[in-house]
Amino acid sequence: MEKGILYGVGVGPGDPELVTRKAERILREADVIAVPDKGAGEKTALRIVEDLAAGKELLSCPTPMIRDRERLDRCYEEIAGRICALLEAGQIVAFITLGDPTVYSTYIYVHKKVLARGYDAQIIPGVPSFCAAAARLGVSLCEGAERLLIVPASHQAADCLDVKANKVFMKAGRAIGELRDLLAERGLLDRASLVANCGMEGEAVYPRFADVEDGTGYFSVVLVKEPEEPAPGREKQEG
């Protein structure tokens, strides 16, 4: 029997209309849809594609929100083992994940383990949350020679503020207060904006991060624009 294929499918940030045509095709062709579950029954990715998943066999993949690497690795090993059993039986498995599978996703750890066991695994890109957030704000992420730095907000973000680049702080919900204080200290608060739950129920858009109160939720993206440098020769002319 021919072995099945695992697809890591990015379903975008929240708006079902941002699911790509390729992702839609893969989900329709899949025999089983693997659904990450971070606990408390929260299955955000599944809600985005619930119409495409209707009638499909669902494989629950518990992925607790902890920082214990050994425990997480055991979870990923168990998920990979269950998926490989399905692939051995010739089934097509689509593992859905928010945004894009290559950007801070749970899927990528399972992807590596499935490949290491000798099975085929492929990645289907999706719209990243920070691209959708920038579009919602009506701003660019980077222009000309500007650089872009993507940071997980809850993991020692302070040192990243010294890098000369526009910055994206992802999953900033729990770190909102600390991040706001850091930006204020560096004089960057007025150059920051936030989108919470982009494309989801409860979406909130703040062109001014200074207007944000605590409690925006886990799916919060903060964009920080690097201060513009004076044009060459301007300082000399003004002096």
Domain spans, the chain: 5-124, 129-224
Mean pLDDT of 57-83: 90
Domains 5-124 and 129-224 share a fold: no
Residue 175: pLDDT band (50, 70, 90) is confident
Contact (Cβ atoms closer than 8 angstroms) between residue 198 and residue 133: yes
- What confidence score (pLDDT) does residue 43 get? 84
Tell me what percent of the residues of the chain surpass a pLDDT of 90: 71
195-219 pLDDT, tens digit per residue, is 999 999 889 999 999 888 766 778 8
- pLDDT given for residue 215 in this prediction: 66
pLDDT in tens, 129-154: 999 999 999 999 999 999 999 998 87
> Which CATH class for the 5-124 domain?
alpha beta
- The CATH number of the structural domain formed by 129-224 is 3.30.950.10
Q: 198-202: long-range contacts at Cβ-Cβ below 8 A with a sequence spacing of 24 or more?
A: 198/13, 198/14, 198/15, 198/129, 198/132, 198/133, 198/136, 199/12, 199/13, 199/14, 199/15, 199/18, 199/132, 199/136, 200/13, 200/14, 200/15, 200/44
Q: Which residues contact 216 (CB under 8 A, 6 or more apart)?
A: 172, 173, 176, 194, 196, 204
pLDDT given for residue 97 in this prediction: 95
Q: What is the pLDDT of residues 26-58, one digit of tens each?
A: 999 999 999 998 765 568 899 999 999 999 999
